């Protein structure tokens, strides 16, 4: 359920970034989502059961990628 909600929010915020009136509000929403995902990625890295069978190098690689995405979204505020 939460995956569907976050996916819908991602789509809404992505469309909002394309609309000049909504771009800063949408960027803040994207940053909040990405921060929530960052916490999930750290949890997955620390908890063996939560890895979903992903290799550890992928779990580690997602952390700096997430920071880059947050920085990118911050450019629209």
Residue-wise pLDDT tens digits, 32-47: 999 999 998 999 999 9
Q: Once rounded to an integer, what is the mean pLDDT over residues 2-24? A: 93
Selected residue with higher pLDDT from 50 and 18:
18
pLDDT at residue 2 greater than cutoff 90 = no
Residues 6 or more apart whose Cβ sits within 8 Å of residue 67: 38
| pTM (two decimals) | 0.85
Residue-wise pLDDT tens digits, 50-66: 888 889 999 999 999 99
Residues 6 or more apart whose Cβ sits within 8 Å of residue 59: 41, 44, 45, 51
Contact status, residue 37 vs residue 65, Cβ threshold 8 Å: no
């Amino acid at each position: 359920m939460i995956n569907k909600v976050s996916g819908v929010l991602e789509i809404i915020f992505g469309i909002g970034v394309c609309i000049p009136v909504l771009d800063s509000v949408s960027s803040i929403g994207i940053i909040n989502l990405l921060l929530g995902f960052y916490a999930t990625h750290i949890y997955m890295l620390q908890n063996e059961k939560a890895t979903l069978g992903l290799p550890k190098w992928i779990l580690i690689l997602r952390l700096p990628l997430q920071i880059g995405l947050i920085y990118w979204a911050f450019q629209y505020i």
